[in-house]
Amino acid sequence: MNRVLALIMAGGMGERLKPLTIERSKAAVPFGGKFRIIDFTLSNCVNSGIRQIYVLTQYRSGSLHQHIQEGWGISSSGLGDYIYSVPAQQKMGSDWYRGTADAVRQNLDLLRGKDVDHVFILAGDHVYKMDYSQMLDYHKKRNAGLTIGAIRVRKEEASGRLGVLSTDSDYKVFGFEEKPDQPKTIVGDPEYCLASMGIYIFKVEALRDALQGTEADFGNEVIPYITSKEHDVFAYDYEKENSIEDYVIEVSDGQRRKMLVSRARDSSYWRDIGTIESYYDASMDLVGVDPIFNLYGEKWLIRNFQKPLPPSKFVLGGRAMDSMVSDGCIISGGRVWHSILSPGVIVERDAVVEKSIVFDDVIIEPHARVRRVIIDKQCRICSGVSLGYDMEADKNMGCRVTDTGIVVVPRGAVIGG
C-alpha cells in the first residue's frame, strides 16, 4: 500500500488492567496464549499491505521493544518496509507524551522526507481483525481530511467508556463526545451509539493542521476541533463496511474440509480490553467449538513471536476440553476445561483449571484448583491451594479480586507456599 504510513500508539499504562500492567505496557499484555495484544494491530497492518510502521512507546516498554524486535523482524528497510519502535524522547521541550495527540505531534518529524499522502493512527491495545485497505478506499472516495473507524455499541456500554460520534445519513461527522455519561444514540436506533474505535486516517495536511496547537488527546480535543474546520470528517461503519473472507480447516470423520468463517461473528469483532473484566471476556471469546473470535483462519493470520518449544503433551490421564493449549505445556494427570494455557505451563496430578487464563511458565501443583483466575507469568500455585472459590481468602494470599469475582495472580507469585 503505497504512500501510506502507520503510527501505532502503544505507550498506555493500562491502569485498570493492573496487576497485569505493573511490569509491562498495556499493548504488551499476553493474549490468546501465544500472542500479545499489539500483535493484532500489527497483523492487521501487514495483512492490509501497510509496511511502513512506527510503534510509539512510553510506559514500561522494555518487553514490548524486545517482542517487536524478536517477533516482527520481517521488514526490509532498503525496500521501504519497516516496523520501528520509537520510545518517547521529549522531542518538544521537557514533557513526556501528555496524550495520543501529543505523542503524534512530538513525532511529526518521522514524516519528514517521506512520500506519504495518508497516515493511519492506530491503537495498539485493541483486539480485532480489520482490512485497513477497505477503510482507506472509503476515505479516498469521500475525499475526507479525517476518517474515524466506528462501531455500533449499546448505549450503556459506551457510557463513560467510549467516544461517541454524531453523523448525518451519509456518515459525515458533525459532533463528538469523549466518554459521555449520557451518550447520543443513532438516529432511528435509540438503543445504540456509534462509538469511535480509536482508528483514524488523516490526510497528511489535515493531520498537520489538527496538531498546530497544544491539544493532548485526539478524543477530547483534536476531533472536536477538526470537525469545526474545513476538513471533512467521516465515520467508517466497521460492521457495515469491513469484510474478510477467511477459511478455517475443520476435521470431520477423518476428512479435511474448508469452512467459511461467518463475517458477523468474526470479521466484525472488536474489543477494547482496557479492564480486567473486558480482558477476561475477550479471552473467553476464543475458546469453545464455535468461538466468537476465531484465530484459526488461513487468510488473516495473526503473527507473533514463536518460542522454540516442543509440542505440548498430556500424560497420566491429563486432559483439556474446550481449551487452547500452547506449545511446551505438560498436562500431567490434571484437568483443564474452558481455559487458555500459554507456553510452558505445567498442570500436575489431580489439579483442576476451569475458565482460567494461565500465562507462560506457570506451575500448578497437585490437587490445586483454580476457577475464573488469570495467572501472570512464572507463578506457582502450590499443592492443595484453591483460587476462585473464596474471594476473601484469595485477597489475603496477595491476589487482586475484581467486583465480578475474577481473580488475578501477579507475576512471579507463589500462592500457598
Q: What is the pLDDT of residues 189-219, one digit of tens each?
A: 889 999 999 899 999 998 888 887 666 677 6
Torsion of CA 334, 336, 342, 344, to 10 degrees: 10
pLDDT of residue 112: 80
pLDDT of residue 75: 62
Domain carrying residue 30: 4-241
Q: Residues 106, 204: one domain? A: yes
Distance CA(194)–CA(137), nearest Å, equals 21
Please indicate, yes or no, if residue 299 is contained in any of the structural domains. no
Please indicate, yes or no, if residue 286 is contained in any of the structural domains. no
Please indicate, yes or no, if residue 402 is contained in any of the structural domains. yes
Q: Residues 227, 88: one domain? A: yes
Please indicate, yes or no, if residue 274 is contained in any of the structural domains. no
CB-based burial, 155-191: b 16+ in 10 Å, e otherwise: beebbebbbbbbbeeebebeebbeebeebbbbeeeee
Which of the listed residues 220, 241, 262 is the one where a domain comes to its end?
241
CA 149 to chain centre: 15
Q: Are 112 and 81 in contact (CB under 8 A)?
A: no
Distance CA(392)–CA(399), nearest Å, equals 10
pLDDT in tens, 280-334: 999 999 997 888 888 887 778 898 888 899 999 999 999 999 999 999 999 999 9
Please indicate, yes or no, if residue 145 is contained in any of the structural domains. yes
Distance CA(67)–CA(345), nearest Å, equals 20
Please indicate, yes or no, if residue 327 is contained in any of the structural domains. yes
pLDDT of residue 264: 46
Q: Residue 352 is part of a domain; what is its CATH number?
A: 2.160.10.10
Q: Residues 118, 215: one domain? A: yes
Please report where in the chains the cell 521529549 appears, as a residue.
Answer: 90
pLDDT-flagged residues of the chain (< 50): 263-264
CB-based burial, 332-344: b 16+ in 10 Å, e otherwise: bbbbbbbbbbbbb
Q: Residues 98, 195: one domain? A: yes
Please indicate, yes or no, if residue 31 is contained in any of the structural domains. yes
